[in-house]
Chains A and B, each alone.
Chain A
Amino acid sequence: MQILSKLAFALGLGVAGLSGSAMAADVSGAGSSFVYPVLSKWSASFAEKTGNHVNYQSIGSGGGIAQIKAGTVDFGASDKPLDAAELKEFGLGQFPVVIGGIVPVYNIEGIEPGKLVLDGDVLARIFLGKISNWNDAAIAKLNPGLKLPTGQITVVHRADGSGTTFNFTNYLSKVSPEWKAAVGEGTAVQWPTGVGGKGNEGISAYIGQIKNSIGYAEYAYALKNHIGYALLTNANGKTVKPGNASFQAAAAGADWAHAQDFNLIMTNAPGDEAWPITATTWAIMYKQPKNAANSAVVFDFFRWSLTHGQAQAQELDYVALPDALTQKIEAYWQAQFKH
């Protein structure tokens, strides 16, 4: 092992002279795949403006946290916030960069996208396997005008660990004590029933192929790939449609003022218009970075993105951060990070 690493080093030092790439700054980040589409869009625009390259790779939120802790990247991105103790232990700070929605998706013959209505309790019981047929009375009660077929429900969930799963199971845990006791929340959980698809493409392929199936996916994925998605009844008892307006309502109604280190999970948000499964992605950085120059570029990047990048975010079906939140993030940077 040592021999190999020594050999690698000798080779590495030998070629180091050849690389000599001291052009504009190259900074890197890793983590959540939820933000990958918008981060790469921002990165391309930012590169055109400044010449600085922000290289973001979606290796998963867990991977992003592990890599920032190992100091191999300049920032991490996670769909699940770190708690105060963990942030303190590693000298890290975190702030939200993107907000978006997760929707239940389905394939039921004769039922078009946006027609099926579900609530948290029914959704939880479907994913628990307790409601196993589309003709169940509980579903019919929520959909008086809809002719639901008789057919065994197949649950489709993510097989890979994912922030999308974390937000979805977090929501189910909040609205269903039964789910919380039996399964709980996490980037991966022990699913009581169903099949697991790898990544978003696995989910959309399975939903497309398996009749009478139900799963969950990022809103943009459902929309762009023409998969049926359901409406949900929110915390205020109102039925809402997924989309920019309802995601924004959830973000605006959240109590960011009292959330230390922005540690606030927006699922089951209050408000008549609020979409109940709204998700946030946080960027995680060192407060005293080893590479201060790179860190400064990352701040420039996010400052630019949170002000000028919001239109691009909306094009990709994410939500622009509320102004109050953006200001709070700027204040957090000034107070917490060394520049």
Chain B
Amino acid sequence: MSVASVTLDSNRGRDRTDARNDALFRWALRFCALLVLAALLGAALSTLWGGREVLFGDGWRFLTSAQWNPVENRYGAWAPIYGTLVTSLIAIVIAVPLSFGIALFLTEIAPAWLRAPIGTGIELLAAIPSIIYGMWGLFVFVPFMAAHVDPLLDASLGRLPWIGTLFQGPPLGLGLLTAGIVLAVMIVPFISSVMREVFQTVPVRLKESAYALGSTTWEVAWDIVLPYTRQAVIGGIFLGLGRALGETMAVTFVLGNAYGLTASLLMPGTSISSSIANEFNEAAGLHRSALIALGFLLFVVTFIVLLIARWMLRSLQRKAGKA
């Protein structure tokens, strides 16, 4: 960034110090930015290094095997990957319509005086430390699911053909569905605040002309606002997904931590981050290597998810630039 400054002869000395200071300043900032780069690369590469025995020793077998046997030292990541993907997917399926409703309420429906306090309340959900989500989940939400939700699902949806298998099982309270719901509550503030922000970028002219033509609030939201902001909304969803993928404590307490693969969402499973958190302290040798390799996998999955989010958001920016 070259500075086209007005140079006066009398100021030449000062200019020189300024130029020197500018260069110095720029390098200091650049150094800090590179530090961020180094920290991430260092952390990611250290997982690659720590997990090398398993990642390079077992290769694809590590990804596709559902065996996780510390006694025989054979490890496969498929069960934790499956659990991570399923719980995150449930979280997205629940959180997206919920967040859309919230964003709609806060931008179109609620009276102006109510918007700020309610918006703050929703965003406070993101400020609660995840250990508290975990303890609340373990002591309060799991019993609630066991007593009220699981039996209901088993008796209703569980009876249906095809999708019935998803909702069958004893009322344990914990499991993939419970973990997905807790994750959904955790990511709702992220997705809804992105939605809220982008909904506000829709030109007022556009909305008002629709209203003038007799459109209802819903029609404006569904036919004008959503198509206009679709890409950014999808980007926001992926940001929430990125957060759900890496969540540890909240999930560990309610997921049931079992390495088996089950079709039913009411049954326990495991996830990448909770496997690491659970077993790391006691693990040695190849077991530890397998856990660190899981950490590397999580970096890779997050990388891909964020790459998609970024791509979506960028195409929106391009569209907005044209408009």
Contacts and interface: CB of A to CB of B under 8 A. Distances in A.
A202 B281 contact: no
Contacts of B279: 160-161, 188
B223 to A, nearest CB: 46
A190 interface: yes
Given A4-B35, A190-B259, A198-B252, A210 B138 contact: no
B258 A206 contact: no
B257 interface: yes
Contacts of B253: 198, 202
Contacts of A61: 282
Given A159-B252, A190-B259, 6 more contacts: A1-B38, A4-B38, A184-B72, A188-B279, A198-B278, A209-B143
Contact of A4 (B39, B70, B138, B252): B39
26 contacts: A3-B35, A4-B39, A4-B42, A60-B282, A62-B282, A62-B283, A62-B284, A63-B281, A159-B278, A160-B277, A160-B279, A161-B279, A185-B71, A188-B282, A188-B283, A189-B71, A190-B259, A195-B174, A195-B257, A196-B257, A196-B258, A198-B252, A198-B274, A198-B277, A198-B278, A205-B142
A3 B138 CA distance: 42
Interface in B252-277: 252-253, 256-259, 268, 270, 274, 277
A183 B42 CA distance: 38
Nearest to A173: B71
Interface in A215-237: none
B172 interface: yes
B139 A187 contact: no
A3 B72 contact: no
Interface in A166-222: 183-191, 194-198, 201-202, 205-206, 209-210
Contacts, number: 101
Contacts of B258: 191, 194-196
Interface of A: 1, 3-4, 59-63, 65-66, 152, 154, 159-163, 183-191, 194-198, 201-202, 205-206, 209-210
B39 A202 contact: no
Contacts of B257: 159, 195-198
A152 B172 CA distance: 12
B210 interface: no
Contacts of A194: 258
Contact of B68 (A190, A202, A210): A190
B72 A196 contact: no
Nearest to A212: B170
A162 B274 CA distance: 15
Contacts of B35: 3-4
B130 interface: no
Nearest to A30: B281
Interface of B: 35, 38-39, 42, 67-72, 138-139, 142-143, 146, 170, 172-174, 252-253, 256-259, 268, 270, 274, 277-284, 287
A236 to B, nearest CB: 29
A190 B287 CA distance: 12
B71 A190 contact: yes
B137 to A, nearest CB: 10
A179 B287 CA distance: 21
A206 B253 CA distance: 10
Contact of A1 (B42, B143, B146): B42
B138 A201 contact: yes
Contacts of A161: 70, 278-283
Contacts of B72: 184, 190
A154 B172 contact: yes
B282 A63 contact: yes
Given A62-B283, A65-B284, A186 B70 contact: yes
Contacts of B170: 152, 154
Given A1-B38, A183-B71, A190-B71, A60 B256 contact: no
A301 to B, nearest CB: 23
A161 B288 CA distance: 11
B256 A187 contact: no
Contacts of B256: 195-196
B284 A188 contact: no
A195 B38 CA distance: 40
Contacts of A66: 284
Contacts of A190: 67-72, 259
A210 B172 contact: yes
A195 B278 CA distance: 13
Contacts of A198: 252-253, 257, 274, 277-278
A94 to B, nearest CB: 16
Nearest to A197: B257
Nearest to A61: B282
B259 to A, nearest CB: 7
A202 B138 contact: yes
Contact of A209 (B68, B70, B142, B280): B142
Nearest to B72: A184
Nearest to A191: B258
A158 B154 CA distance: 27
Contact of A210 (B146, B274, B283): B146
Contacts of A185: 71
User: Most chain-A CB neighbours within 10 Å: which of B42, B280, B281?
Assistant: B281
User: Most chain-B CB neighbours within 10 Å: which of A159, A161, A196?
Assistant: A159
Given A3-B38, A161-B278, A209-B142, A196 B70 contact: no
A61 B280 CA distance: 11
Contacts of B142: 205, 209
A191 B268 CA distance: 13
Chain A to chain B: the 6 pairs with minimum beta-carbon distance, closest first: A161-B282, A60-B281, A196-B257, A159-B257, A62-B282, A184-B71
